[in-house]
Amino acid sequence: MAPVASGTWQWQWRGKLNRGYAVAIYDIDLFDNSARTIACLHEAGRKVDCCFSAGSSQDRRPDFGQFAPADKGKVVKRSPDGDWEGENWLDTRSANVRTIMTARLDRADARPQAADPGAEHGPGR
> What residue segments make up the domains of the chain, in order of their start?
9-118
Burial 83-104 (b: 16+ CB within 10 A, else e): ebebbbbbbbebeebeebbeeb
Q: Is the pTM of this model over 0.85?
A: no
Closest CA to 30 of 21, 17, 44, 18: 17
**CA–CA distance, 60 with 36 (Å, rounded to integer):** 21
Ramachandran area for residue 122 (φ above 0: left; ψ -120 to 50: alpha; else beta): beta
Instruction: Write out pLDDT tens, residues 70-123.
Output: 999 988 876 666 656 788 999 999 999 999 999 988 876 656 666 666 655 555
Q: Which CATH architecture has domain 9-118?
A: Alpha-Beta Barrel (3.20)
